[in-house]
Structure 1
């Protein structure tokens, strides 16, 4: 259902039968891993006009992997990580 690099790739699917008899297949909720369980390999300083996808492209090698950095920093809103220039952003080890 999802690309193997997606944050949703390993989630289970579930089904729901509606009152009118339709079956809806959906992906179960994703819970981010605990921040202290993620191995950190670097920290980078946010510069203006950095975006998380640009940081991911430079550090992780793929812009669409921005969610790994958000997880490593405990950010539910990835935009919060680049809102303040000068802040440090933790970069996770590959595959974390």
Structure 2
């Protein structure tokens, strides 16, 4: 059975398998050659810059309200709930659910939201 990521990697030869909005778009693609000569393509580890050194310091602060989730915030600020990973990348969390687990917590929202997109409260 072909894994979904394998078919995505092989979908369009010579192009990157992830859309520009994906957190993996800029990740390097590696090739592992098995002992039998079979090549296995994979996405190399995506390393983040140290907090505060990301593209500019254009960030907003957001105070978490009860019931909010990272995808809600991504929809509010970026117009796309799938962009939650940008908020996770801008904050020191391992699990993105930590971002909104505690109402009243202040988190960073990276800049670049369309039309000013509802800056933090």
Q: Deviations over 1:29-53 (max 9, x none)?
A: 0012211113243111111111000
Normalising by structure 2, report the TM-score: 0.72
In the alignment, the residues of structure 2 paired with residue 16 and residue 41 of structure 1 have an alpha-carbon distance, to the nearest angstrom, of 38
Structure 2: segments with no counterpart, 5+ residues: 1-16, 114-121
Instruction: Please tell me whether the aligned partners of residues 44 and 90 of structure 1 are also in contact (alpha carbons under 8 angstroms).
Output: yes
1:7 and 2:23 aligned: yes
In the other structure, the counterpart of 2:111 is 93
Give the alignment partner of residue 38 of structure 2, picking from 22, 31, 47.
22
Aligned partner of residue 75 in structure 1, secondary structure: coil
User: How many corresponding residue pairs?
Assistant: 95
Give the alignment partner of residue 54 of structure 1, picking from 72, 86, 89.
72
Bigger relative contact order (CA 8 A; separation at least 6) = 1
- Counting only pairs closer than 5 Å after superposition, residues 61-76 of structure 1 correspond to structure 2 as 61-76=79-94
**1:76: Cα distance to partner?**
2.5
Normalising by structure 1, report the TM-score: 0.90
Aligned partner of residue 37 in structure 1, secondary structure: coil
